[in-house]
Amino acid sequence: MGLCASSPIGKGSENQKTGSRNTKQHYYYSSSSSSSSTTIMVIHGDGKLQVLKQATKARKIRSQNPNYFLCSSESMSIGTCVPHMQDDEDLQMGQIYFLLPLSQSRKPLLLPDLCALAVKANSALGQHKLRQQS
């Protein structure tokens, strides 16, 4: 599990049969050592980590954060708008979700944005791991 994004920019690989070039790059940010398949982790805009120990609907998180939208870390692609989770969707155990400001909902995700989210997630998950160890 981790944060994965793809980008249409960058080096690519050439398909030997067709000669076409694949220019999509994927970026992976693994957090498997900091998370568990028995929890759901929601990273808020301020970097706060919310750990849920039971299944819940996206609606519950959204209703507590009306100026934000919820998205899965697995659904982010560079150069595209981040898909919103529907209110009736179940958050999945072992997954990381982000609460992003509604003002960002129609803007394509850029690599610096993704990097900032990865840093925020890494910091939140690292602090959570330290609290668990003490």
What's the pLDDT at 86? Answer: 96
Separation of alpha carbons 2 and 38, rounded Å: 15
Separation of alpha carbons 70 and 11, rounded Å: 31
What's the pLDDT at 30? Answer: 40
This prediction has a pTM of 0.71
DSSP string, 18-77: T--EE--EEEEEE-TTT--TT-EEEE-TTS-EEEESS--BHHHHHHH-TTEEEEEGGG--
What's the pLDDT at 3? Answer: 46
Q: Which residues contact 81 (CB under 8 A, 6 or more apart)?
A: 105, 106, 107, 108, 109
Q: Which domains does the chain have, with CATH numbers?
A: 40-132 (3.10.20)
Average pLDDT for runs of 10 along the chain of length 134: 43 45 41 63 93 95 95 94 96 95 94 93 87 80
Amino acid at 64: Q
What's the pLDDT at 39? Answer: 92
